[in-house]
Structure 1
């Protein structure tokens, strides 16, 4: 029988949407799309206009850094780290803004010049919060 364990961060949107932040089944850990927050507060929220459209993408790097920190925290709860990540998918509102910062931010997060992870960058038109510029989902093997 395969064992299953879940983890949450205690943020309101877990109950509102109805999901867990991470689930470990067997030797695989699946992280739901992570974003840049500390508790219930968004970190480096992007400015938006009266229609909720982002007006400035310059917080992409800061949001990306915090997102990797949040993923690292969840992985740590399973005795894992970003070193165990085998796949990531970055969902971003602006591909150019993401490309401008992703290399240095990802290399710092994974602590190596050539992160050993399959990575996909996907442009999207909307994310959960208007001020959110990206979301990253992860799969790790331990």
Structure 2
């Protein structure tokens, strides 16, 4: 049986909800749904491109902590509150994944945990071969 590595980021929600940002078991890494850090300046509540970019950049660091990188991502699942923002979201996703080309899906949902969030993304990565 493979050992389990929980990757925590220090979010107060990790203990409140009982989750971690990512879990690695063997070569498989699953990353929890992640929203942007909306600061009102570089990442605004109405900027789906900036939110998507912020999420992927931050998950790149989480994957490094798990011994992987964005190049190991095999799937992304994107949840947006406004599918009309597809081009903005897709442009940011493409800047990171145009050569990696993980399988992906984008879903419009009614809302996320805060109205400031336009997108949430889940990631699956595989390091090496299973």
- TM normalised by structure 2 equals 0.88
SS in 2 for 1:126: coil
Residues 88-140 of structure 1: CA distance to partner in whole angstroms, max 9, x if unpaired?
1000000111x121332112123x3x442000001111112221111000000
8 Å CA contact retained: 1:7, 1:22: yes
Structure 1 match to 2:114: 129
Correspondence for 1:22: 22
Alpha-carbon offset, residue 3 of structure 1: 1.1
1:78 and 2:69 matched:
no
Q: 2:32 aligned with 1:32, yes or no?
A: yes
* 2:122 is the counterpart of 1:102: no
Name the SS of the counterpart of 1:129 in structure 2: coil
User: Which stretches of structure 1, 4 residues or more, deviate above 4 A after TM superposition?
Assistant: none
| Partners of 1:12 and 1:78 in 2: CA distance | 20
So what's the TM-score if we normalise by structure 1?
Answer: 0.81
Number of residues paired by the alignment? 124
Unaligned segments of structure 2, at least 5 residues:
none
Match of 1:117 among 90, 102, 107: 102
Residue 17 of structure 1 aligns to a residue in which SS? helix
Answer yes or no: is the 8 Å Cα contact 1:6–1:22 preserved in 2: yes
Q: What is aligned with 1:54?
A: none
